[in-house]
Structure 1
Amino acid sequence: MLRFAKFIAALGLFAVPFSSQAQEESCTSNFLVTSKLECVSCGIQKAHGNVPSEKFLALLGFAAQHYYSGLNPHERDVDSVAAMNGFYQHVIQQVQAYGYCVGVKVKPNGDLTDKKAYDKVSTNMLDLVYPSITGSRSRVRDGEYNGPLTGDQMKKMVKHFGFKNEDDVKTMFQDDFWRTTTPAQRQKHFRTYAEKSGVVNGSDDGDNLKECLKQLKNLHTGTTDFNLNSPNEANQKFCKTVAGECGIASSFCMGNTAPAPVPASSSGNNQPVRRNLYNSTNSSTATGAH
């Protein structure tokens, strides 16, 4: 019945609320809580009504820790306000520039399907993915990191994220001029490498990464919030919403990179889930959704 209701609603014959679907989808999970990415996920849902891919947020957290010189990989003190703010700021700046994908396949018009895609971190990979983001070997207790990932562990990590090798991940996410570039310039850098052939591997993880990268490209060209060819107030509003959910100052959304703590808002309060990726809450137009 729910599947039929979705179909009818997509046709626009009459309005059918997706309340049961919204209750099933949540912006939080055990992994997102322990990896400190919950507020980013819930901020995106609050801003756009979509639940972002857990795996994509894990990839951004991994990239922030390993390829951004402004952080101290593997040694982040999760109890340090300054360290956590720096981590949140960089992950949010990545989302501001790159956008986000959802965990299911998306139709050309933006409608979400029920087919899983770049969805969640595999259970058998949690003990590698978690410490690569948080600096802790334990998925329960913080501060137990015992050193960087080995070469073989890094290969498994990269494969799980859908890439052929670590150099591809590093090239895509490492931006030596990050602190002095705009969201539009960061997006251009990302797209230059994300659209190169031969980046993804031939596994199911690679196919799902392709789907995620396709969704990101469509967000860049088909929505107001992430079309950064000109100054974009909608993009800044999106960034500020996510920053607010993480309890950090949002001045960096305007180009200021110095974060400062502000009272945290409550995360994990689920919003009604939208069933279209490109017609988002903040977007006033969505040229790619027609």
Structure 2
Amino acid sequence: MRALFLIPGDSSLQLQAFPAVGAVADQLQAQVQIVCPPEAVPLWGLHPGVSRAVPFNFEAGTLADWANLLGTIREPDFQLCINRAGGRQVDLMLSMSHIPSRIASGGFSATERVKEPQGIWPCQAWEAWLQPIGVRLEAEVFRLTLPPAELRQAAAELPSGDGPVLLLAPAGGEGDWPQERWQELPGLIRRSLPNLRTLAGGTGTIREQAARMANADVVLASDPASIELAVLLGLPVVALGRASSALPSRQGVQALGRAGQLDGLTSAEVLSALGLA
């Protein structure tokens, strides 16, 4: 079987789809292709169940762009399309495709419409799109695995020592936890854990970022994509500015503070969330 996912949105939204894509690939023995924004194509290279990621600008695609995309998705013989995009152009394109099963939350091209769940962990919310094709989703079970060679290379680049590794991934910009508090935090932690080692997230290729994070013992992040990546890797993470409902209910995963209002969060509160107060 060949399955096509149309997924607009930023990196965090792409990562939220990883467990669902994995479930379709595994349970239907499907060859999966993804249509996503150009900047997300390298991200999908991390997913072992994806054979190809097709770059497409959902926001600014012209009629010619949509026609070219139609030609691209007509070439393989897809039996299934799960569509998270909206608008008349995508509906026209899918209506002219030969894909027999087209699942979406709306639009005239859908052969099956689903109701989008509210107030639950976004990774698990994807189950609504999988139910019509009989695919079960246990998003919490999914773990992103990386090649051992990449993990070893990242481990070799860790700061020297044998202490625990804390990866810091600030989002930056207005409303984030102030930069000076990010900078002072490692020193505060070393008062009780003098052998603490720290890493900075967000540098290098996405594969390098993922391998570096996988070598951490705990992640403190306000960057949305880093939070999602830490969750998929199964790491303990304190997610700044993330609602509890947007995270899995498991030990080691904790929400702290409100998005856009992190400047009032104290270092003592963050240390407490990390279990170091």
Bigger relative contact order (CA 8 A; separation at least 6) = 1
TM-score range (shorter-chain normalised) is under 0.3
TM-score normalized by the length of structure 2: 0.28
Give the TM-score taking structure 1 as reference length.
0.27
Query: If you compute each CA radius of gyration, which structure gives the higher value, 1 or 2?
Result: 2
Normalized per residue, the structure richer in strand is 2
- Larger helix proportion, structure 1 or 2? 1
